[in-house]
Structure 1
Amino acid sequence: MSEQQAKPTIYPVLFAIGLAHLINDALQAVIPASYPILRDSLHLSFTQIGMITFILYFSSSVMQPFVGMYADARPTPNLLPVGMAIALLGMLGLAFAPGYAMVLAAVACVGVASAMFHPEGSRISYLAAGQRRGLAQSIFQVGGNTGNALAPLMTALIFFPYGQFGAIWFTLLAAIGIAIQLRVARWYRAHLSLIPLKKNSANAKPVDEKHKKAIRYAIILIIFIAFARSWFGSSISTYFVFYLMEHFQISVPTAQLYIFIYLGAGILGTFVGGPLSDRIGRKNVILLSLLGSAPFAMLLPHANALWTYPLLFLIGVLNHSSFSVTVVYVQELVPGKVGTVSGLITGLSFGMGAIGAVALGGLIDATSLTLVITACSFMPLLGGMGFLLPSDKKIRDWSAQQISLER
C-alpha cells in the first residue's frame, strides 16, 4: 500500500473545502443568473450574452493550469482567501455596473478568482482523500455543482424582484467564503509537509517513451470528452432557459425552475459518480456519463413541458457524474502534477464552455434558438471516444512500474 493510500480520509477538511467550492461557484453562478435581467436592462443580444460567458470562463480557465503549475512547485495557501476577496470586488462591480464594459470587468474579476481557487482546492481535496480519491473529489465537486445549481433560484428570488443591484447581497456570501478559506489555508499550511510533491514529481515520469505517448494520447481524448460535455452543458445552462420561455411561453421564474432541476440533479450525479468510480472504475463512469445521457438529450428538444422535467433530471444526473471522475482519472494518470492537471482539466472544461457559449450565441442570432438546441442534443454521442482511453488497470500498472523504478 502506498503512503498516500495509508493515510485516513480527513472528512472535516473535505467538507470545508467543499463548502468553499460551493461559495466560489455560487458567486460565479451569479453571472448567468443575471442574464435575463441584464439582457433587458442593457438591451443585450445573444452574442453579447455569449461574450459575457466567454469572459467569465476564459478568465477562469486560462489561468488555472498556470496556477496549478505554480502551486505544484510552490504551494500557496494564501491564494484561497485572496481569490475570494477578488470575487467580492467582482460582485460589487456587477451590482453597480452602469454599462456593458463594466459588467465585463466585474465578470473578469469573478473568473480570475475562480482560477485561483480550483487548482489549490483540488490539491487540498487530494491531500485529505486518503485512499478514497473518487469520494473526496466528489465531495469537492458537489460543493461547486451546488453553487452552480443556485443560479436559477438567484434569478427567481433575487434578480427578478430586485434587478441588477441584487448582486450586492452576494458580497456577504463572499465575506463568509473568505473566513472559511482562511481556516482551510491554515490547515493546508500546517500540513504542507505531508504532500509528497517532490517525490511524486520524480515518480510521475512515465517509464519509457511508449508510456509518454500513451499518456499524452489519453489526455487529448479526455480533453475532447470534456469538450463535448462542456458544449452540451453550455447549451443547457446558458440558453435553454430562453428556449423554454420561447417554446412554452412561460415566465422567467418558471423557466429557471427547469434549469434548477437540471443543475440540482447534477449535484446527485456528481456525488454518486466519484464513489461509483472507486468501485467500477473511472473509465466506465466516464463512458456511462456521456453515452448514458445521449438518448435523453436527443429526446429533450421534442418533449412537452411536462416531460422536460424528468428528461432534464436524468440528463443532469448522468452528464455530471463524470465531472469529478475525469479529474481523478487524470490525477492518477499523472500523479506527480496534481495542481497542474487539475487546473488543466477543470480549466479546459470552463474554457471550452466559454468558447461554446460565444459560438452558440452567434449561431442562435444567425439561425434560430430551436435549431441550435436541437443540434447540441447530439453532442453527448462524442463520449464514445472514451472507449479509446487506457483502462484503470493499465494506469495502475504504469504507476506500479514507476514506483518500482523509484525504488
Structure 2
Amino acid sequence: MDTVLDDEAAVAARKTAEKTVFSVLVALSFTHLLNDTIQSLIPAIYPMVKDSLQLSFSQVGLITLTFQLSASILQPLVGMYTDKRPQPYSLAIGMTFTLAGLLCLAFVHSFAMVLVSVALVGIGSAVFHPEASRLAYMASGGRHGMAQSLFQVGGNAGSSLGPLLAAAIIVPLGQLSIAWFSLLALLAIVVMMRISRWYLANPHRAKAKKKSAATTTLRLSKGKVAFALFILLVLIFSKYFYMASLTSYYTFYLMDKFGVSVQHAQIYLFVFLFAIAAGTFIGGPVGDRIGRKYVIWISILGVAPFALLMPHANLFWTVILSVFIGIILSSAFSAILVYAQELVPGKVGLIAGLFFGFAFGMAGVGSALLGELADRTSINYVYQVCAYLPLIGLLTGFLPNIEGSRKAKA
C-alpha cells in the first residue's frame, strides 16, 4: 500500500514539474525588463557623455567594450558554477551590483569613472542572465522556446525603453537624473527575492528538466556537437556585431546623415529597439512548432536585403527598414540558445552563460572596432561595411536537424 502511495506521489510530483508556471515566467520577464532598461541607459546617454567629456568615437566604443566584457567574461563561469551549486538569491545579488554602477554613473565626471560604473553594471548582468535563463527553463514545463522568448521579450522591451526615457528625462534634466533609475533596481530586487523563494521551494523542477533533456537529445558525436556549437557562435558573432552598429551608433548615424536632433535620434532608436522587443516572442514559439533551424535561417539571413538597402535610404525608409531589421533579427537569439541547450542537455546554466556572454562580448568588441573605424573613416562607411554581416547566416545550412522540442512533447 505504501509503495502505491509513493508511486502516486511521484507521478503527481512529475506532473506538477511538467506544468508551465506562467507567474514565474512573467516575473522573470519583468525583472529582465527592469535589468535591461537600466543597461540600455548606457548607450542612450552616449551623445550627452561624448559632448560633456569631449570623447572620440573610439572612447565611446571602449565604454561599450568595458560594459560588455565585464558581462561576457563572467557569464559562462557563473553558469558553470550554478549548474553544480544553484544559488537562489544570486539574482538579487547581481542587481545590487547594477544598482551601485547606476548610482556611480549619475555622479561621474571622468572617462575612467565612466568605465568603472559601466563595469559594475556589466557584473550585475553577468550574474543575472545565466541564472534567470535557468529559472525560465525550469518554469517552462517543456515549452522551452516559448519560455525563453517570454524571458527575452522582457529584456528587449527594457532595452527599447532606455532611449525613450533618456530622451524624456536624462537629456533635459542632466546626468544627475540617472540616479532616479535606482528605483527600478530596487523594485527588481524585491521581485527577485520572491522568485528566489519559488526557486528554493521547487528544486525538483531542475532535476526533471535535466532528466527530460537527457532522454530527448539526439545522439550526435562530440565532434558534431562541437561543430554545431561553433556554427551557432559564428551566427551570434554576425548578429551582435551588426547589432552593435545600430545600438551604439544609430543615433550618431541619423544625426550625421540626416541632421536630426539628439532627442529625435533617441526616439528613432526607441522605434528600432521596440521592433526588436515586438519580434522577440516570435522565434521561440515558432521554433517549438517548425524547428529552430528554420527560425535561425529566417532571422539572420532574412535581414540581409534590408541591411544592404539601409545605407542608401532616406530618413523615412531608414526608419522603416530598421523596423523590419529589428523584428526579423530579434527572433534569432531565443532559437539559437534553446537549440544549443538541446545539443548539450543538463548544462542549461553553462550554455546560457556561454551564449549570453559571447553575445555581450561580440557586442562590446564590435562597438569598439566600429568606433575606431568611424574615427578613421565615417559613420556612413561603418554602415556600408556592416550591411554584409547578415550574409554569414548562410552557415546555418551546416547545422544538424534536431527536433528536441517535438520529442519532448511526444
Structure 1 length-normalised TM: 0.93
**CA RMSD, aligned part only?**
2.2
Cα deviations by residue, 1:268-292 (Å, 9 ceiling, x for unpaired):
1111111111111100001100111
How far does residue 200 in structure 1 lie from its aligned partner after superposition? 4.4
1:221 corresponds to which residue?
A: 231
Whole-angstrom CA distance in 2 between matches of 1:164 and 1:381:
40
Matched with 2:6 is: none
- In the alignment, what sits opposite 1:41? 52
Match of 1:392, SS state, is coil
Pick which of 185-194 and 31-40 moved more: 185-194
- How many angstroms apart in 1 are the aligned matches of 2:329 and 2:223? 29
1:193 positional shift? 2.9
Match of 1:343 in 2: 353
Q: Distance in 2 between matches of 1:90 and 1:349?
A: 21
Q: Select the residue among 320, 330, 339 that pairs with 1:329.
A: 339
**Is 2:221 aligned against 1:211?**
yes
Q: 32, 36, 52: which one pairs with 2:43?
A: 32
1:147 corresponding residue in structure 2: 158
Please give the alpha-carbon distance, in whole angstroms, between the structure 1 residues aligned to 2:281 and 2:72.
Answer: 23
Aligned-partner Cα distance in 2 for 1:193–1:134: 21
Q: Secondary structure at the residue paired with 1:98?
A: coil
Taking the aligned partners of 1:182 and 1:264, their CA distance within structure 2 comes to 28
What is residue 75 of structure 2 aligned with on the other side? 64
Answering whether residue 319 of structure 2 is matched by residue 272 of structure 1, we say no
1:51 to 45, 59, 62: 62
Aligned with 1:224: secondary structure?
Answer: helix
Instruction: Quote the Cα distance in structure 1 between the aligned partners of 2:393 and 2:163.
Output: 27
CA contact (8 A) 1:58 1:354 kept: yes
Task: Give 1:247's aligned amino acid.
Answer: K
SS in 2 for 1:120: helix
| Identity within the alignment, % | 47
Q: Provide structure 1 residue ranges, at least 5 long, that are not aligned to the other structure.
A: 401-407
Aligned-partner Cα distance in 2 for 1:304–1:329: 38
Residue 134, structure 1, aligned to residue 159, structure 2: no
Map Cα deviations across residues 65-94 of structure 1 (whole Å, 9 max, x no partner): 000000100110111111111111111100
Q: 1:281 maps to what in 2?
A: 291
Conservation of the 8 A alpha-carbon contact between 2:297 and 2:393: yes
Q: CA separation in 2, counterparts of 1:321 and 1:205?
A: 24
- The residue type equivalent to 2:245 in the other structure is S
2:248 is paired with a residue whose SS is helix
Match of 1:357 in 2: 367
Q: 1:93 aligns with which of 88, 97, 104?
A: 104
CA contact (8 A) 1:201 1:337 kept: no
Q: Does 1:388 align with 2:398?
A: yes
1:403 corresponds to which residue? Answer: none
- Pairwise CA distance, 1:131: 2.2
Residue matched to 1:302: 312
Count matched residues: 396
- Any stretches of 5+ residues in structure 2 without a counterpart? 1-13
Q: Secondary structure at the match of 1:335?
A: coil
Which stretch shows the higher mean deviation, 136-145 or 267-276? 267-276
Q: Once the 2 structures are TM-superposed, how far is the Cα of residue 4 of structure 1 from its aligned partner?
A: 8.8
- TM-score, normalisation: structure 2: 0.92
User: Is 2:91 the counterpart of 1:80?
Assistant: yes
**Closer, same or farther: CA 372–271 of 1 in aligned 2, 3 Å:** same
Residue of structure 1 aligned with 2:259, choices 221, 227, 249:
249
Partner of 2:247: 237
Are the equivalent residues in 1 in contact too, given 2:213–2:342 (CA < 8 A)?
A: no
1:135/1:6 Cα in 2 relative to 1: closer, same or farther (>3 Å)? same
Partner residue of 2:128?
117
Check 1:211–1:255 CA distance in 2 against 1; reply closer, same or farther (3 A cut). same
